[in-house]
Amino acid sequence: ATMGVMHTPSSAGSTGTLVQVPSSGGHVPAVVYPGGPDPACICIFLPGVRGNLDVPGIGDASCELDLDRWASPSGRGSIFARLAGELASGEDMTVAPWAPRDRRSALHAKITTSTAGRPRRFRALCALMSWRASEDEIALAIACEITQGDDDDSVGARRLALAVEDACAVATHLRRTSTRGHDAGKRPPRVAFVGFGFGAAVAWAAASKLGADAVAAVVSVSGAHVETSAARTLKIDTPGCITTLDQVPKLWVHGASDTTLSPTASRAGFEIAREPKCVAFVMNGDHRLDIAREASYEPMKTFMVSTLTSEYLSSVGCDAPYGVEMGNARRAATPCTGARVLAMPAAMRGDTNVSSSAGTKPKRSFHRAAHTYDTRLMFELLKGGDVPVLGAGWVDVSRALGAGHAEAARLLMDAAIDAGRGTRGRVV
pLDDT band at 14 (very low <50, low <70, confident <90, very high): low
Q: Given a cut of 90, is residue 222 above it in pLDDT?
A: yes
**ω into 276 cis (within 30 of 0):** yes
Average pLDDT, the chain: 76
Task: Give the DSSP per-residue string, 104-123.
Answer: GSTTT--EE--TTSS--S--
pLDDT band at 401 (very low <50, low <70, confident <90, very high): low
First CA to last CA distance, the chain: 58
| Mean pLDDT across 261-270 | 95
- Percentage with pLDDT > 90 across the chain: 36
- Let me know: does 56 contact 79? Beta carbons within 8 Å: yes
Tell me, what's the pLDDT at 184? 57
For residue 378, what is the enclosing H or E element?
helix 376-382
Tell me, what's the pLDDT at 138? 58
The region of weakest confidence among 39-43, 319-323, 342-346, 394-398 is 319-323
Tell me, what's the pLDDT at 232? 95
Strand ranges, E, within 2-130: 2-4, 17-23, 26-33, 41-46, 92-93, 111-112, 124-129
Q: How far apart are CA 241 and CA 225, in angstroms?
A: 11
Q: Given a cut of 70, is residue 344 above it in pLDDT?
A: yes
Longest dimension (CA), the chain: 65
pLDDT band at 63 (very low <50, low <70, confident <90, very high): confident
pLDDT band at 348 (very low <50, low <70, confident <90, very high): very low
CA R_g for the chain: 21
| Mean pLDDT across 415-427 | 58
| Mean pLDDT across 240-256 | 94
Tell me, what's the pLDDT at 95? 72
More confident site: 115 or 319 = 319
| Mean pLDDT across 172-176 | 93
> How far, in Å, are 274, 329, 358, 396, 418 from residue 334 at the CA level?
17, 15, 33, 11, 27
